[in-house]
């Protein structure tokens, strides 16, 4: 399977990464090299095989449903590129 330029642009948008017109053909070649490399997997017989979930059979742990931290607004906001009055600041998202 290989991807065309339009697909490269669509994936880039899905991944929220802007790709310039110059970059797109390079990226297309590289993605196709990787997709070519994984192509052989389509020939492996996986009939009746369950996808792997864990190394040893074990039950997923569940913790007690209780509050373990909180009141750390300062810590949560400490690395924000823009913040105001205890909020993250973002560009307008609703018209």
Q: Collapsing DSSP states into helix, strand and coil, what is residue 25?
A: helix
**How many Cβ atoms from other residues are within 10 Å of residue 15's Cβ?**
9
Q: Segment 25-84, which members bind other proteins (CB under 8 A)? A: 27, 30-31, 33-35, 37-42, 44, 46, 49-52, 54-56, 58, 60-61, 63, 72, 75-76, 78-82
Is 28:3 a contact under the CB 8 Å cutoff? yes
* Footprint on this chain of other proteins (rule: CB under 8 A): 3, 7-8, 11-19, 27, 30-31, 33-35, 37-42, 44, 46, 49-52, 54-56, 58, 60-61, 63, 72, 75-76, 78-82, 88, 90-93
């Amino acid at each position: 399977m290989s991807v065309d330029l339009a697909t490269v642009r669509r994936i880039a948008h899905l991944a929220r990464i802007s790709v310039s017109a110059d970059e797109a053909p390079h990226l297309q070649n590289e993605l196709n090299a990787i997709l070519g490399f994984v192509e052989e997997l389509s020939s492996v017989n996986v009939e009746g095989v369950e996808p792997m979930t864990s190394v040893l059979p074990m039950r997923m742990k569940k913790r007690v449903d209780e509050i373990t931290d909180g009141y750390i607004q300062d810590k949560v906001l400490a690395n924000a590129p823009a913040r105001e009055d205890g909020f993250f600041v973002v560009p307008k998202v609703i018209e």
